[in-house]
Amino acid sequence: MNPARRAFPVATCTPPVFKRRLFANATFSGTAKRADCGSAVGAAKIIRMTVITEALVEDSRFGALTVRLDTERGEVVVEGAAVPRTVLSRSAGTEAEEHIPVGTRAGDRLTLTVDGAEADVRPAKGRLTRRSYAVDVRHAGHVWRLLPDSVPDSRLLRDGRRLGDFTSRGDGEVSAEWRANAAPKAVDASVGYALAAGFGTGAQPMWMLVVDAIGDLIP
């Protein structure tokens, strides 16, 4: 598929600097007043800002899609003319974990809806193995799984069959490569983009994580 394109182009931002869109309203609607790289300024006072990334994707099978990630609210919205609207959201008032785009891997703090119907989302805890970073969704008699299979990528399966590979660094931008012999449906794309944006993709192999852990113990 074609690479994701930013709806509001800005310079490349290096952590702890982030890409942000600033709105002049509380509903985050309309045209952003500014889109740039931002960081917390001032040691004595930190002003909380809503950070929203909206990426336009030209999917090779389903055309133009919008992937919207709101890290402050803990919400991912995927929509497009050819796919059902899918929303992944963190419960209001719950504390966010900074390294997870949607803010949590606790299933009881997450809600997923596909075309308005609630689906069951079950992220694994995220430990040493790549399988521990899997995310499962049960909806309409099917089971989807997003599972890391390399450092940058995760594969999407429906009912055990591999449909394609997704890549997202956790910044709201997602790309997908559908397998040639797969026949993905619109709901597959919508769920896949939502999970990739909400949890990021890829994971280090277990041996590398073990080496890093041992290294941390050596003075």
Q: What is the pLDDT along the chain (219 residues), one digit of tens a residue?
A: 544 444 444 445 554 444 455 544 444 455 554 555 544 333 223 233 457 999 999 999 999 999 999 999 999 999 999 999 999 999 999 999 989 999 999 999 999 999 999 999 999 998 778 899 999 999 999 999 999 999 999 999 999 999 999 999 999 999 999 999 999 999 999 999 999 999 999 976 554 544 445 555 666
Report the pLDDT value the prediction gives residue 17, as an integer from 0 to 100: 43
Q: How many domains does the chain have?
A: 1
The residues, any chain, with a CB within 8 Å of residue 62's CB and separated by 6 or more, are: 80, 82, 83, 186, 189
Whether residue 162 lies inside any domain: the answer is yes
Whether residue 21 lies inside any domain: the answer is no
Whether residue 174 lies inside any domain: the answer is yes
Report the pLDDT value the prediction gives residue 219, as an integer from 0 to 100: 62
Whether residue 20 lies inside any domain: the answer is no
Whether residue 203 lies inside any domain: the answer is yes
Whether residue 25 lies inside any domain: the answer is no
Whether residue 59 lies inside any domain: the answer is no
pTM as predicted: 0.75
Structural domain of residue 118, as residue ranges?
64-217
Whether residue 161 lies inside any domain: the answer is yes
Alpha carbon distance 87, 120 (integer Å):
12
Report the pLDDT value the prediction gives residue 41, as an integer from 0 to 100: 36
Report the pLDDT value the prediction gives residue 36, as an integer from 0 to 100: 55
Alpha carbon distance 129, 112 (integer Å):
25
Report the pLDDT value the prediction gives residue 116, as an integer from 0 to 100: 98
Report the pLDDT value the prediction gives residue 51, as an integer from 0 to 100: 79
